A = this chain, B = another copy of it.
Amino acid sequence: MSAPRVLIVGAGGFVGPYLAREFIAAGYRVDGADLHPSPALPEGVAFHALDLLDATSVRELLAACEPDIVVNLAGFSSVGLSWREPRTAFAVNVDGALDLLEAVRLCDKQPRLLLVGSSEEYAAADHALSEEDPLDAQSPYGLSKLTQERLAGMWRDHYGVQAVCVRAFNHTGPGQTDRFVLPSFARQAARIALGLDEPVIRVGNIGVRRDFSHVEDVVRAYRLIAERGDCSKIYNVGSGRADPLAAHLQTLIGMTGKDVRVEVDPARVRKEDNPLILCDNSRLRGELGWEPRKSVDDALRELYEGFLRTGEASR
């Protein structure tokens, strides 16, 4: 029997190389598509240049690859930027999803399709969010992900497309850009440790509590859900624990061994910012046997050491 095939769309981003390694380790033949090749993609991934907004190319790629599973990682991922470029957020997250739903529908042998949504789809709440909690996106980003999820439901109900959706909570690890908060903290800490900067870290609202996973745990969840998740359900992907950003900052400051001052930079404080975003991952644990193998502290250490080692800190 030949190996199962997975096509990862948006393979060149932060998560793509991790997901490719996850599927390779599970015995898959992996195709990866993105606008441009990424040096981070592991050996053995067949790369395909693809503009997800070119619907014809998307259909042709699926016909050529004949995947058993398609995962869409090609997302517009910044809440803040979605206020400044809302049309781009909707183009990537909604039109892109539509291209994939249509391409899957038109396949002779329809693959399963995993679409990645976000905890930003939920209404604000003071408790761990389960998949049944009310949805009410607070940003164009969150709304674009909610719209993607609703479209997946329509294509499933109307056409029988096997699309399964996740709502991913925060995740991080080496390779994530320092436009995101923990890599930003880790890079600042590494530069201080290396003596490149004064011992001052600039932060936004570090009182908020977020549910951070290590990206390796997240991609394992994605594989399990893509393989065996129930398409009529949504799956939260998160650790089930939410600490204040301040705690992660203190962990990183501890790694520097220096006396570091923390300064609030008004430009980094979001206008709207939920005090708590926490994942109830009972479904993922219960149905698919997933549990986290790494902690956010592991991710922080890897990020910090990566910035120390690779020279990223001095770029």
Interface residues of A (CB under 8 A from B): 55, 83, 86-87, 90-91, 94-95, 98-99, 102, 137-140, 143, 147, 150-151, 154, 158, 271-272
Contacts and interface: CB of A to CB of B under 8 A. Distances in A.
Given A139-B154, A140-B151, A150-B137, A87 B95 contact: yes
Main secondary structure on A side of the interface with B? helix
A158 B80 CA distance: 12
Contacts of A137: 150
Contacts of A99: 87
Nearest to A137: B150
Contacts of A102: 86
Given A137-B150, A150-B137, A87 B55 contact: yes
Contacts of A272: 158
Given A55-B87, A86-B102, A143-B154, 11 more contacts: A86-B151, A87-B99, A90-B94, A90-B95, A91-B95, A94-B94, A139-B154, A140-B151, A143-B147, A158-B271, A158-B272
A90 B90 contact: yes
Nearest to A101: B86
A58 to B, nearest CB: 12
Contacts of A91: 95
A52 to B, nearest CB: 12
Contacts of A154: 138-140, 143
A271 B32 CA distance: 36
A87 to B, nearest CB: 5
A63 to B, nearest CB: 19
A147 B309 CA distance: 45
Contacts of A147: 143, 147
Nearest to A138: B154
10 contacts: A86-B102, A87-B99, A90-B90, A90-B95, A91-B95, A138-B154, A140-B151, A143-B151, A147-B147, A158-B271
A131 to B, nearest CB: 16
